[in-house]
Chains A and B, each alone.
Chain A
Amino acid sequence: MNISYDGLATFFIFLIGVPALVIENQKSELRRIVLQPARRRTLFVRAGQWIALTLAIMFVGVATDALHYADCANMLLAPHAICWFFHGVPEDLIWLCVFAALVGISILATIRFLHRYGGYRGILEDLHREIIKPIRDHPENVPYLQPESLEDLVELGRQSDPGQDKQQVLGELFELVRVVCTQPKYRGDSLERLILGLVQVVGADPKVGSSQNFETASKIMEYVLTCERQCAETHRDDDARYAIHVTGRLGQRAARHLKAQIEIVATLNVYLETLDLAADTYPQTQSHVSGALLELGSTALEEGHILAAMGALNKLIVLYENPAEPPQKELTTDTLGLVAHFWDAGETARSYVARRLDEIQVRLTQPLAAELHQAQHHCARTSRFKTADCLGKMIREYSASAVAEAPM
């Protein structure tokens, strides 16, 4: 027999090396996911399948080569016809076929490993399968996302670079939200971890998202807030409340971190409109929406995004004029709170808000001074000291300046 053991060993070592090479060249955030104990087994099984196939082909090659030299007349194991067939085949042709098959397997294995582990797509597909497994296995239950894999997905998003990498993770999170929201048993309380995870993915240091990432996060929130629940009889608003809270928080982060980006005004506007939709879809959450509008509006004002701050005030006043039943006192506090931030933001802002104050005053149940005091007390109790300070300043200055300044 004339077997090229060197050639066979080369292919064998190459195939063992392919997974190692792919993993070694992965981005660190992807490698961390792949090398977790639970997934390492999957990796070994996948690599093992290719190695087993290689060994099988090598075995077939050696066996065929052996038949080539065998004495077919005295063969006990192989049928004579097979033996005579291979006996007549040139040895070079046998090894040509074996090496062609090994080359093909090496190429296929490399492509498959690169697809599966080389970038985000394959790993996101694996995570997707793991996360929705409880939903797939038990569609009769309230949808539930597999928490460990979801944590991994959120962590992957947190460590990803802003822009396209984060966008891929956000796309996967959006897809999961769609899957959950369209389940027959979804009742509005299955997405807490995912929604709170968005703050980590887009808004957490050190890799805060780009404006595109922030907008996608807002669209995920919007989907949560407006999706039609199939299971209306047990309808809950937990996810909506989390979505409102996170929308306000991310809006603030965007206002602080995207200052240099030209699209910041539009990005903040997307957040404002999401909150607006929330107030209409879930009137019972109006106080949550007004709180988020106050936080977003005051941060926008502080960072110099005046249009967004005006938008937040506009939406607060519209809410204030059309309160949900029963009226929530937080709405008055938040509206006056943002007014006070404007009051503290310079002459033009003060003049603008003095005019808007006329719209608010007609609906107050007490004199303005009493309402301002009440709002200040409420803000102090709820640890919003900056807003309380602005309200205090406004209380001191309003009566004098209201007479002195004519509204613009």
Chain B
Amino acid sequence: MKPRILWVEDSARSELSSLVGPIYFSGKYDFNLAEDVTRAVRFVETKQFEVMVIDLRLPPGSDDYWVNLYKQNGSNRAQAHLGLNFISWLVGIDNKAYGRVAPAWVEPERIGVFTVESWSEVGEQIQNLRVKKYVQKTAGHSDTILLELIEELLNGHNGAGNGT
């Protein structure tokens, strides 16, 4: 069975071809893309993923819990940082308020954060969530950056706070 990959990201619409193309072309992965937190929760409740790459600026989707959380935090993706709440739920740090139990198979080591936020802005929170891999999205990143990140996570290469 091919490794299952989940990328939770909503703002790469203009870059999908360049970032996802190499993954489809490789044919090595069962790749899934969720564009909001509600859909991401549905995916992790339905399937078990070897690797999850998560953006921090995410829209809530249709689930009332995430919608309310989003509103409480200013109704602004950059401010709400629902990605952090999602990871927090996934790794079991904060799953009481949501009322759903996070899947037991989730390992923080297999979660990567791929976001525009700099390490100085979110590094401490990411470390608190025990996530080891963080890559900052920058204008000049290569087309294969996502594929490389996935492969690093699969191979267990950690690079905390490297801000690649």
Asked whether A355 is an interface residue with its Cβ less than 8 Å from the other chain, the reply is yes
**Among B38-46, B103-111, B116-124, B155-163, which stretch is in contact with chain A?**
B38-46
B27 and A355: CB pair below 8 A?
Answer: yes
**Among B15-23, B67-75, B129-137, which stretch is in contact with chain A?**
B15-23
Asked whether A324 is an interface residue with its Cβ less than 8 Å from the other chain, the reply is no
Distance in angstroms from B64 CB to nearest chain A CB is 10
Chain A residues numbered 304-345 whose CB sits less than 8 Å from any CB in chain B = 306-307, 310-311, 313-314, 317-318, 321-322
Residue among B13, B16, B33 making CB contact with A273, cutoff 8 Å: B33
| A264, closest chain B residue (CB) | B13
B46 and A226: CB pair below 8 A?
Answer: yes
**Chain B residues closer than 8 Å to A277, beta-carbon distance:** 42-43, 46
Chain B residues numbered 54-85 whose CB sits less than 8 Å from any CB in chain A = 61-62
Asked whether B96 is an interface residue with its Cβ less than 8 Å from the other chain, the reply is no
Asked whether A300 is an interface residue with its Cβ less than 8 Å from the other chain, the reply is no
Instruction: List the count of A-B residue pairs having beta carbons below 8 Å apart.
Output: 61
| A263, closest chain B residue (CB) | B13
Chain A residues numbered 335-371 whose CB sits less than 8 Å from any CB in chain B = 352, 355-356, 359
Across the A-B interface, give the 5 residue pairs with the lowest CB-CB distance, nearest first: A310-B24, A266-B13, A318-B30, A280-B46, A307-B17
Chain B residues with CB under 8 Å of chain A are: 1-2, 13-14, 16-17, 20-21, 24-25, 27, 30-35, 39, 42-43, 46-47, 61-62
Question: Knowing that A265-B13, A311-B24, A318-B2 are A-B contacts, what are 20 other residue pairs whose CB atoms are under 8 Å apart, sorted by A's residue number?
Answer: A174-B62, A219-B39, A219-B62, A222-B42, A223-B62, A262-B13, A266-B13, A269-B20, A269-B33, A273-B33, A276-B32, A277-B43, A280-B47, A307-B17, A307-B20, A314-B24, A314-B31, A321-B1, A355-B27, A359-B27
Chain A residues with CB under 8 Å of chain B are: 174, 219, 222-223, 226, 262-263, 265-266, 269-270, 273, 276-277, 280-281, 306-307, 310-311, 313-314, 317-318, 321-322, 352, 355-356, 359
A–B pairs, 26, beta carbons within 8 Å: A174-B62, A219-B61, A219-B62, A222-B42, A223-B62, A226-B42, A262-B14, A263-B13, A265-B13, A265-B16, A265-B17, A269-B20, A273-B32, A276-B32, A277-B43, A277-B46, A307-B17, A310-B21, A310-B25, A311-B24, A311-B31, A317-B27, A321-B2, A322-B1, A352-B25, A356-B27
